[in-house]
Amino acid sequence: MLLPDNIHPENSIYYNGAFVIEALNNERSFEILDLYQEVKLKRSMTFSVFILCLDWLYLLDVAKINSKGEIELCS
């Protein structure tokens, strides 16, 4: 759920996606596991929530996979 009404907001994809964006703003691109480790330094989240955040950011055209297979912000 992006904005659930029955759980704490910090458990939402919307909230956790901000930490993924923050990590991507600091570096040009990341391998997926390196990005996960970087995000885990700021916010503890499961890998499945991390992947849902990436899916959501991809659907919004915020993040993409480049030709090297790395994740980066869309320009």
Paired tokens of 74: 């869309």
What are the residue ranges spanned by the domains of the chain? 10-73
Q: pLDDT at position 2, please?
A: 56
pLDDT of residue 5: 67
Beta strands in 1-75 (DSSP E): 63-65, 71-73
Please say whether the structural domain 10-73 has been given the CATH code 1.10.3470.
Answer: no
**What pLDDT score does 11 carry?**
79
Quick: pLDDT tens for 6-65.
677 787 898 999 999 999 999 989 999 999 999 999 999 999 999 999 999 999 999 999
pTM of the model: 0.87
Q: Let me know if 30 is exposed, middle or buried by CB neighbors in 10 A (0-12, 13-18, 19+).
A: buried
Q: Is the pLDDT of residue 4 over 70?
A: no
| CA–CA separation, 64 and 75 (whole Å) | 10
